[in-house]
Amino acid sequence: MSNKNLSTYLLVTPQTLIFILFLVIPIIAIAVISFWNFNGFSMTPGFTFSNYLGIFTSQVYLSTYLNTFKFAGIVWLICLLISYPVAYFLAFEVKSPQWQTIWFLICTVPFLTSNIIRMIAWIPFLGREGLLNQALMGLGLIERPIEMFLFSDFAVILAMVQLYCLFMVAPIFNSMIRIDRALVAAAKDLGSSGFQIQKEIILPLAAPGIAIGSIFVITLVMGEFATMRLMSGGKTSSVGYLIKNQIDSLQYPMAAANAIILLLLALLIVSLILRTVDIRKQL
Amino acid sequence: MNKSKKSISYYLLAAFFSLFVLFLYGPMLGMFLLSLQSPEGTLTFPMRGFSFYWLQSVFGEQRVGSFVDAFGRSFTLAIIIASITVVFSVLAGLAFRKQFKGSSTIFYLTISSLIVPSILVSLGIGILFSLINLPVQWFSSALAGHLTWTLPFAFLIMLGIFSRFNPAYEEAARDLGASETTTFWEIVFPLIAASVVGVGLLGFTLSYDEFTRTSLISGASNTLPLEIFGMTTNVTSPSLYALGTLTTIFSFVLIGVALFTMQFLSRRQTK
């Protein structure tokens, strides 16, 4: 190996070591533990499928998985419906690059602040005596405050959409900003309607951004438990929350088995998305 | 669309965008206002009185622990994470300027760190530490967890920066006999300095606010997000909002300083 090559490998070594030590090895450790025996109190090394069988045969677990998918799907769809027009506005309707940067930064800043705090900030709006209930009662639409706003599926979805939609806006914006304006102008000159331009030009060219955003939003929702815990008041569960609870009660092999299934499901979804769209050009 | 006159779609999209910005900032503003209530304030509107009572209460001893300590830990951790993230991602970015054997494997390994559900990282590192009999601590295991989140982002940004980088400057320096180290510090670094500040800011804020990848592995002493999360279940006074307000303002100030520095550095560069 030449001197030049050696220095290249030295340069990537620190970062790669971090991922081998703290990503690859830990996942292998989880996989190993997921086959260990668990007697209700402690775990012993071994090779059993009972942790997995326990998951596949339990109605509670299966419905928790379905619930996780439900939330991931709903949050993903809402994020997409919000992010596409937002990104389009920034990329095509805001003409000056300076204002594009400023507006994009304004969208980004909240995402650099604490997620937990941003969840807490919903309490004055969604609570029993929150602004939403007060407004609805003031309008005479409801007589008694609706309890369900805070600590409900609605609150979980609302908070997740607010927490994660930038992960959709940014990649779509990034794809759209690269679209050659001449294409759009040409289509217009040839008499295309606005809808046709969206369908034939912008949507296909923004697809890689949508794919990247979708991967982010779906894996973020699948891998977390804080929003689920805080905004549902512990009423709804997700696999992340389930894993967290199992660890709190020291059921490590069960938690590990759930984690491995969650990882495989996430990888399956990511590979399905990557099959439909080629994202390599975006990087 | 006409240049002189904006179309209807412009106004519709502008209205939609404004609602989006309101959706992002509205709850935050509500929290700011409610943290400024007088001591008899509650968790909901209308505001009851006006004072700095709750903001001051944050600095006092709380029932669930001291936030000043948790803030100190989170701040220290974020500084360490930002430094490591900057150094490692710049090094990796330098290497990735050309193709090398194994580069795509390393690329996918890095990206996969973003895709792996966060709870797995937390659980995995926790298990790893217990297998090798090390106690989990915010400055060891949590530090590792944070790096798996900040490094991929920083790496992607660095790839973007170096792909726009004109190698002619470097080659000129090398032709004139400058060593690799001199070339880096005299030529490359000043050109990427503004972006490095940006990556540092990103590393800092991602770490400072990280929750899930810290949650199972912070050990006995909590980081600030964990401390606040614990507080949500048993604190029902506006001190919760006051804490939120203060940490958010801290983030805003930090972002402002970083943006200003980046502006300054890139302006100096174009001179």
Sign of the C-alpha dihedral computed for residues A132, A135, A138 and A141 taken in this order: negative
Sign of the C-alpha dihedral computed for residues B72, B82, A217 and A34 taken in this order: negative
ipTM field: 0.88
Residues of chain A positioned with their CB less than 8 A from the CB of B104: none
Contact B31 A120 (CB under 8 A): yes
Sign of the C-alpha dihedral computed for residues B108, B114, B118 and B122 taken in this order: positive
- Please check whether residue A176 is in contact with residue A206, taking contact to mean a CB–CB distance below 8 angstroms: yes
User: Is residue B17 one of the residues assigned to a domain?
Assistant: no
- Please check whether residue B64 is in contact with residue B231, taking contact to mean a CB–CB distance below 8 angstroms: yes
Contact B87 A14 (CB under 8 A): yes
Q: Return the biggest CA–CA distance within chain B.
A: 72
Number of domains within chain B: 1
User: Is residue B131 one of the residues assigned to a domain?
Assistant: yes
User: Is residue B12 one of the residues assigned to a domain?
Assistant: no
User: Is residue B4 one of the residues assigned to a domain?
Assistant: no
Contact B92 A15 (CB under 8 A): yes
Number of domains within chain A: 1
Find the helix or strand (DSSP H, E) in which B15 lies.
helix B8-34
Residues of chain B positioned with their CB less than 8 A from the CB of A123: 43-44
* pLDDT on residue B40: 77
Contact A107 B106 (CB under 8 A): no
Nearest CA in chain B to A12: B92
Q: Residue A137 is part of a domain; what is its CATH number?
A: 1.10.3720.10
User: Is residue A238 one of the residues assigned to a domain?
Assistant: yes
Q: Residue B97 is part of a domain; what is its CATH number?
A: 1.10.3720.10
* pLDDT on residue A133: 74
Give the residue from B115, B140, B250 with the most A CB atoms within 10 Å of its CB, the best one to mutate.
Answer: B115
> Count of CB atoms within 10 A of residue B210's CB?
26
* Residues written for chain B: 271
Cα B41 to Cα A168, B33, B37, B51: the distances in Å are 37, 11, 5, 10
Q: Which residue has the tokens 């997921």?
A: A34
* Residues written for chain A: 283
User: Is residue A3 one of the residues assigned to a domain?
Assistant: no
Instruction: Determine the Cα–Cα distance for residues B243 and B71; give it in Å rounded to an integer.
Output: 11
The alpha carbon of residue A154 is apart from the nearest alpha carbon of chain B, in Å, by: 15
Contact A113 B106 (CB under 8 A): no
Please give the full DSSP string across A6-37, using - where no structure is assigned: HHHHHHHHHHHHHHIIIIIHHHHHHHHHTTSE
Which of A33, A90, A112 is facing B127, going by the closest CB pair?
A33
The alpha carbon of residue A57 is apart from the nearest alpha carbon of chain B, in Å, by: 23
Residues of chain B positioned with their CB less than 8 A from the CB of A11: 91-92, 94-95
The alpha carbon of residue B64 is apart from the nearest alpha carbon of chain A, in Å, by: 17
Contact B240 A16 (CB under 8 A): no
DSSP 8-state assignment for residue B268: H
User: Is residue B240 one of the residues assigned to a domain?
Assistant: yes
* pLDDT on residue B162: 87
User: Is residue A169 one of the residues assigned to a domain?
Assistant: yes
CB pairs under 8 A between A and B: 251
* pLDDT on residue B63: 54
Give the residue from B1, B127, B148 with the most A CB atoms within 10 Å of its CB, the best one to mutate.
Answer: B127
Which of B27, B106, B155 is facing A122, going by the closest CB pair?
B27
Which of A9, A220, A243 is facing B123, going by the closest CB pair?
A243
User: Is residue B52 one of the residues assigned to a domain?
Assistant: no
Write out chain B's pLDDT in tens, 271 residues: 444 457 888 899 999 999 999 999 988 998 888 888 877 777 777 777 778 877 877 777 655 567 888 889 999 999 999 999 999 999 999 999 888 888 889 999 998 998 899 999 999 999 999 888 888 888 889 999 999 999 999 999 999 888 887 888 888 888 888 888 888 888 888 888 888 998 999 999 999 989 988 888 888 888 888 888 888 877 777 888 888 888 889 888 999 998 889 888 888 776 5
The alpha carbon of residue B21 is apart from the nearest alpha carbon of chain A, in Å, by: 7
User: Is residue B239 one of the residues assigned to a domain?
Assistant: yes
- Tens-place pLDDT, residues B54-63: 787 777 765 5
User: Is residue A106 one of the residues assigned to a domain?
Assistant: yes
Contact B205 A115 (CB under 8 A): no
Question: Residue B186's domain spans which residues?
Answer: 66-270
User: Is residue B1 one of the residues assigned to a domain?
Assistant: no
Which of B16, B27, B106 is facing A85, going by the closest CB pair?
B16
User: Is residue A115 one of the residues assigned to a domain?
Assistant: yes
Listed in sequence order, the residues at least 6 apart from B47 whose beta carbon sits closer than 8 Å to its beta carbon are B33, B34, B36, B37, B41
Cα B180 to Cα A7, A91, A250, B186, B269: the distances in Å are 11, 40, 52, 10, 21
* pLDDT on residue B199: 93
* pLDDT on residue A219: 92
The alpha carbon of residue A63 is apart from the nearest alpha carbon of chain B, in Å, by: 19
For chain A, which residues score pLDDT lower than 70? 1-4, 128, 147-148, 279-283
Nearest to A210 by CA among A157, A264, A165: A165
User: Is residue A247 one of the residues assigned to a domain?
Assistant: yes
Contact B225 A18 (CB under 8 A): no
User: Is residue A120 one of the residues assigned to a domain?
Assistant: yes
- Tens-place pLDDT, residues A50-86: 889 888 888 889 999 999 999 999 999 999 999 999 9
Angle at CA of residue A241, ends A172 and A123, nearest 5°: 70
- Tens-place pLDDT, residues B137-156: 888 899 999 999 999 999 99
